[in-house]
Structure formats: C-alpha cells, structure tokens
Chain A
C-alpha cells in the first residue's frame, strides 16, 4: 500500500515562493498528483508527475524524484487566494485508486 507524508502547515507572505513537500512509501510507484482545496470547497486537480523532474503550470510547479521517494509543489508569487489546503496523492498500483496525503494548510500573510 501507499503512505504519504506532508507538513501540516506552511505560512508565507504574499509574493513569496512556497514549497510544499510530500514523501511517500510505496510497494510500487506510478506517479504523484497534487490537489488544492479551499475551505468549504471541493479538491481541484493541480498537477501530475509520472516521471522525475519539474512540471510547470503557470505559477504552480510540481517536482518528483523517484530515487528519493519525494515530491514537492512550488507556488511562485504567492497570493492571498492561494491560502488553502494542498494534498499529494499516489495510486495504489498501476491503474488503481489513489491514496491521499493528510494535506498541508497554506496560509498567505499580507
């Protein structure tokens, strides 16, 4: 099975660059997804890494290192609207259901 760990909270000021880490323990590895969830809202998909390296989508980037069982989400030019919880998720197996990490609550300060 999968086990994912994330920091519970991250705080940064507007305009900063923020990194949210995710480490995983797996019996096999098939990729890492990231989701954003605002208070009272539903999770929404941000990015997916199947291979090592950096994937960029606007101000958001996601990085994966399979050899280190580690990934991170990078937010550039932090904005107040980025205050939310962020979850990493990995599949149990090839084509199987995803397991979610406990989530990191990001607070942006003015």
Chain B
C-alpha cells in the first residue's frame, strides 16, 4: 500500500466551482505539504503544516485554503476554481522528529483541469 495517497487522481471542473483535494499518509510523519507543479516552473509550495495546529502559507497560497484534520490528513481546497489553477498538485510529508525532514515523501499527484 502507498504511504502517501491523494484523491482524486484526476479531476476536471468548471470555473467557479469549489474543489477539495485530499491527502492521507500512513508514515506517521508530523509535517505535510501541498505543492503545485506547472511545466518549467518546478514545484511551488502552496501551504505547509508542521503539526495539526501549525499551518503556514507558502509561496503561492492565494486562492487556496487547507485543513489539517488529523496528523495523517491534509486537505487542499480551491474555493472558486479558475483556469490558471489548472496544474499537477502534489502532497508530501516529512519527519521532523527523526531529524531527517530534508527528505520529503510525495504522493502520486492530482491532475486538476479547470475549464
């Protein structure tokens, strides 16, 4: 079984719709991240959470919100989707408590298309 899972894997929606992307992990890691990937732009950080009560904005948080429902779950919402939010979205985890938080573990990604 995958350690970091994302649902859905693919989603097509229309402008103005509210969308939620979900991420779950069984690794027991304290830190979770949401990234967006666009061709040629690498991975850009949207939000990150160092524990359930610690949520921080990343480089490109405008138009997005998150919820850390439990240590194992971190959801990303697009309140009113727009076409330039069409991208590949990755969830990732890392383990600060082991001292190896330089290694992030990524989910399989969600391909989102906003029409």
Q: Which residues of A contact B (CB under 8 A)?
A: 8, 31, 33, 35, 41-45, 48, 50, 87, 89, 91, 95, 97-103
Query: Are A45 and B45 in touch, CB under 8 angstroms?
Result: no
Which residues of A lie under 8 Å from residue B41 when comparing CB positions? 102
> Which one of A33, A50, A102 contacts B42 once the chains associate, using CB atoms below 8 Å?
A102
Known: A44-B106, A100-B44. 9 other contacts (CB 8 A): A42-B90, A42-B106, A43-B104, A43-B106, A45-B105, A87-B43, A97-B45, A102-B40, A102-B42
Q: Which residues of B contact A (CB under 8 A)?
A: 33, 35, 40-45, 48, 56, 58-59, 90, 92, 96, 101-109
How far apart are the CA atoms of A60 and B52 in the complex, in Å?
A: 36
Which residues of A lie under 8 Å from residue B105 when comparing CB positions? 45
How far apart are the CA atoms of A44 and B106 in the complex, in Å?
A: 7
Query: Are B40 and A8 in touch, CB under 8 angstroms?
Result: yes
Query: Are B102 and A97 in touch, CB under 8 angstroms?
Result: no
